[in-house]
Amino acid sequence: MDAFAFLFYIFMYVILSPWVAMGYYSSMLFFPIKETYEAYKTESVLGVKQEEIFFPTANGNKLHALYFKLPGAQKTCVVNHGNGSNITYRLALAKLILQSGASVFMYDYQGYGLSQGSPSIDGICTDGLAAYDFVVNQEAVKPADLICFGESLGTGVACYVAENRPCAGIILQSPFSSLLAIARSRIFWLWLYPRWMYPKIMLDNLSYLKGAHPPLLLVHGVNDEIVPVSNSEELNKLASEPKTLVLLPNAGHNDIYGVDSEQYVAAMKKFVADLSGQDKSK
């Protein structure tokens, strides 16, 4: 190899490293939509009134949230969504959670929908903490009544929040074992870089769930073409108790609310009821 070729490879190695090119990788990870879906302006879902809220995150930017307080509900799900669109496109998810018997607080990360700023890996985690703190401190939801819900990329946020704040339970829909593992499965050259070149927060669900954690529900579509179901199977195998795995035989990644929805709702309803039953027995 001549000197020019050697220098070229070194240059490409540095330029493509997560340490240098995190902006490039973020553009591959985040797919925010700023425009809102008109249907979100509905006044209610399943008869539950929708409240529109703006609250600050750590750097002062305002985040947009939709809150559905289900009358008589003991638990509230704080939804950390996936990497695409925004919460105004997720009324089907709000409906599913309401059917399970829990209230729903869903918010947008910075750069999504009506939220200010732009997304980053560290940023979505601080946004998750801000959403939790707002629900607990401003909406007076007790940590013992709060469920951290994560969808796809948001499963990493949900686990990060649960690791840093007390909560009643964790629900992970279409989770990955770790962001680094799934990134390396998609982009082969990322195997060339040592761990210290990556962001401090790498959304490592497996490392957290191997330790002590609140009751855990894993839900995954068997036909998921974006985050393979093997991720949930690995998490279920290696995570500590208490844990429950529900596989939806006909669902993929983006149709999970419409396919096998009855099975999904039944699993959610049982999980929420079991958490409420534990409260009563104490």
Tell me the whole-structure pTM to 2 decimals: 0.90
pLDDT: which is higher, 246 or 11? 246
**Parallel/antiparallel/unpaired status of strands 216-221 and 169-173:** parallel
Structure-block tokens of residue 33: 């939509």
pLDDT score of 105 more than 60: yes
Exposure of 160 in the CB half-sphere (CA atoms within 13 A): 24
CA nearest neighbour of 98 among 150, 44, 145: 44
What is the model's pLDDT at position 32? Answer: 95
Task: Domain count for the chain, please give it.
Answer: 1
What is the model's pLDDT at position 31? Answer: 93
In tens, the pLDDT along 74-104 reads: 999 999 999 999 999 999 999 999 999 999 9
In angstroms, rounded to a whole number, what is the distance separating the alpha carbons of residues 18 and 26?
10
Confidence of residue 186 (pLDDT cuts 50, 70, 90): confident
Instruction: Please report the sign of the dihedral spanned by the C-alpha atoms of residue 52, residue 175, residue 118, residue 124.
Output: positive
pLDDT score of 20 more than 80: no
- Classify each residue of 77-92 as buried b or exposed e, where b means 16 or more C-beta atoms within 10 Å of its C-beta: bbbbbbbebbbbbbbe
- Classify each residue of 264-274 as buried b or exposed e, where b means 16 or more C-beta atoms within 10 Å of its C-beta: bbebbeebbee
Question: Residues of the chain with pLDDT > 70: what percent?
Answer: 87
pLDDT score of 24 more than 80: no
What is the model's pLDDT at position 12? Answer: 65
Confidence of residue 119 (pLDDT cuts 50, 70, 90): very high
pLDDT score of 27 more than 90: no
Mean pLDDT of the chain: 90
Residue 100: Cβ within 10 Å count: 23
Helix (H, G, I), strand (E, B) or coil at 115: coil
Average pLDDT over residues 159-181: 95
CATH number assigned to the domain comprising residue 113: 3.40.50.1820
Average pLDDT over residues 209-225: 97
- Which domain does 119 fall in, by range? 3-281
In tens, the pLDDT along 60-71 reads: 999 999 999 999
